[in-house]
Amino acid sequence: MLQALSKAMFSVLADSVVLKKIASRYGMRRERSFARRFVAGETMEELIAAVRALEAQRLETTLDHLGERVTDREAALSAALDYAEVMKAAAAAGISRNVSVKLTQIGLDIDRATCIDNLRRVLEAAREVGGFVRIDMEDSSYTSDTLDAFETLWKIGYTNMGVVIQSCLRRSPEDVRRMNRLGARIRLVKGAYSEPRDIAYHRKQDVDQAFVALMEVLLTDGHYPAIATHDPAMIDATLAFAAAKHLPRTAFEFQLLYGLRRDLRRQLVAKGCPVRVYVPFGKEWFPYFMRRLGERPANIAFVLKSLGREDPDR
Catalytic residues: 136, 187
Q: Does 230 bind ligand FDA (CB under 6 A)?
A: yes
Residue 218 near residue 251 (C-beta atoms within 8 A): no
Report the distance separating Cα 194 and Cα 10, nearest Å.
9
Q: Does 260 bind ligand FDA (CB under 6 A)?
A: yes
Q: Does 192 bind ligand FDA (CB under 6 A)?
A: yes
Query: Which listed residue (52, 177, 283, 296) binds ligand FDA by CB under 6 A?
Result: 296
Closest CA to 200 of 254, 145, 141: 141
Query: Which listed residue (76, 95, 123, 257) binds ligand FDA by CB under 6 A?
Result: 257
Closest CA to 58 of 261, 271, 269, 256: 269
Least distance in angstroms from the C-beta of 74 to ligand FDA: 25
Q: At what angle do helices 204-221 and 232-244 cross, to 10 degrees?
A: 30
Query: Which listed residue (120, 171, 261, 262) binds ligand FDA by CB under 6 A?
Result: 261
By CB under 6 A, what part of segment 20-59 binds ligand FDA? none
Q: Does 305 bind ligand FDA (CB under 6 A)?
A: no
Least distance in angstroms from the C-beta of 255 to ligand FDA: 4
Q: Does 95 bind ligand FDA (CB under 6 A)?
A: no
Q: Does 127 bind ligand FDA (CB under 6 A)?
A: no
Nearer to ligand FDA, 76 or 169 (CB): 169
Least distance in angstroms from the C-beta of 209 to ligand FDA: 12
3-state secondary structure labels for all residues of 180-245: HHHCCEEEEECCCCCCCCCCECCCHHHHHHHHHHHHHHHHHHCCCCEEECCCHHHHHHHHHHHHHC
Burial of 290 (0-12, 13-18, 19+ CB in 10 A): buried
Q: Does 142 bind ligand FDA (CB under 6 A)?
A: no
Report the distance separating Cα 252 and Cα 308, nearest Å.
42
Q: Does 229 bind ligand FDA (CB under 6 A)?
A: yes
Nearer to ligand FDA, 191 or 282 (CB): 191
Q: Does 251 bind ligand FDA (CB under 6 A)?
A: no
By CB under 6 A, what part of segment 165-184 binds ligand FDA? 166
By CB under 6 A, what part of segment 61-80 binds ligand FDA? none
Rg (CA), the chain: 19
Could you count the other beta carbons within 10 Å of the beta carbon of residue 52? 13
Residue 228 near residue 190 (C-beta atoms within 8 A): no
Query: Which listed residue (231, 249, 267, 310) binds ligand FDA by CB under 6 A?
Result: 231
Nearer to ligand FDA, 255 or 306 (CB): 255
φ/ψ of 257, rounded to 5, equals: -85, 145
Signed CA dihedral, 304, 15, 146, 208: sign only: positive
* Contacting range for ligand FDA; rule: CB under 6 A; set: 66-74, 152-160, 188-196, 236-244: 188-196
Residue 227 near residue 254 (C-beta atoms within 8 A): yes
Residue count (the chain): 314
* Contacting range for ligand FDA; rule: CB under 6 A; set: 47-55, 65-73, 190-198, 305-313: 190-198
Query: Which listed residue (42, 68, 109, 136) binds ligand FDA by CB under 6 A?
Result: 136
Residues in contact with 159: Cβ distance below 8 Å, sequence separation at least 6, in sequence order? 183, 184
Q: Does 215 bind ligand FDA (CB under 6 A)?
A: no
List interacting residues with ligand FDA (CB under 6 A): 136-137, 164, 166, 189-193, 228-231, 255-257, 260-261, 278, 292, 295-296, 299
